[in-house]
Structure 1
Amino acid sequence: MLVAGIKSRPVYSGLAIKPYARRHLFALEGEGAKALLEQRSTLDETALSRSEILYVARGSQGAGHDEALRKLGADMFYVAPTISTLLFRLKGSLSSARMGTRLYISGTEGFIGQVMMVALEYGMDHASVITEHRGSLARRVQCVHCKGITDDVTHSPFTCSHCGLPLLVRDHYSRRLGAFQGVNIDAEEPGSAPDPEELFL
């Protein structure tokens, strides 16, 4: 039910530490911690002394990522209770960031999209932000009809949590909203929506 070749779909290149950055800022969610932990060999004492790690354990499979991240010995380490709290903390970090700061994001697509929105708000170019998808493929979807956003969507079609319309989840992605687009699948023949299919595990 998805359309192939949608150009707006994000591409995540994977975490790669930029050794000459003046400051490294990591925003990590759940399994996204592993993306940084796997880079241990490239994180020397100098890089870690210029690093800030913001982590939220949401959706994490298995415990202990926060402790493993803490043991890296970054200059600053913060465990957020929610994504909203992490984003608030990130805004504070970006408001005082200087030229040469690199932002690294790893987690689910919904998380990456929300962090990217904050980065764009603070003048960062999306092409300079380093991203890696880890964890669930569940999507953050905006209903194009009522403009409501639903997180953790795994099926298509699904019922909009705001207006109740059955929505087809498209691969069309809005960087401004950090969400995929959902359109009414039975607009011309109400009640004809096919059964939901689990597509984004």
Structure 2
Amino acid sequence: MKQFLLILSFCMLSLSASVQASGGYGITLEPAQNNLRDQDSLKRGAILFSNYCMACHSLKYMRYNRIARNLGWDEDAIVAEMAYGQSTVYEDVTTRILPGVAMDVFGTEPPDLSLMSRLKGTDYIYSFLRGYEQNEKGEWENHVLKGTAMPNVLEGIQRHSSEEEYAEAARDITNFLDYVGEPSKIDRLDLGWKVVAFLLVLLLLAYLLKREYWKDIEH
């Protein structure tokens, strides 16, 4: 029985490693290696998202003033940088495309990207943005999501910038979407270490108290 459980555990670990390596999508994903503590990257990602993604996609669960507060932006600056003065700082980050146009052009409605990083993961987003390749006919295809209706929005950067600059642009957008998916993630992680430290101190005190209670009892 013990041997069976050991073999089963080994198989489950191997399967888990395989799924993680492929991102669970049957493909190999590039590691995004984004850093939520890099505010310069987050600001660049916000501007890139505005320039290349907001023509079709929204972030309906985010307001401009929340982004400004978290990323250390002046409220007037973020309206100028991301909304080009077309929205107030209290509004949600919404697409600029008119209703019904996307369906006519792409045959589908572009999804809201507020929770995309939590749904798909940062490696998927990064790999998708960098997954466009041209076929023999000169048409763009994405090997991460076959048949996607989304065009290669970073084509200009891909063609006219270095590989490092292209990768950085994709990483900055991924980083920003990771932040949007859970704006309090850094606070949660920082608080988590404090909670663990508190519980360890509490465990030590409980152990010492237990020894004090039981030191005179024979057992």
Q: TM-score, normalised by structure 1?
A: 0.31
Which structure shows the bigger proportion of residues in strand conformation? Answer: 1
Comparing both chains, which one has the higher relative contact order based on Cα–Cα distances under 8 Å and sequence gaps of 6 or more?
2
Q: Which has the larger radius of gyration?
A: 2
Q: TM-score, normalised by structure 2?
A: 0.29
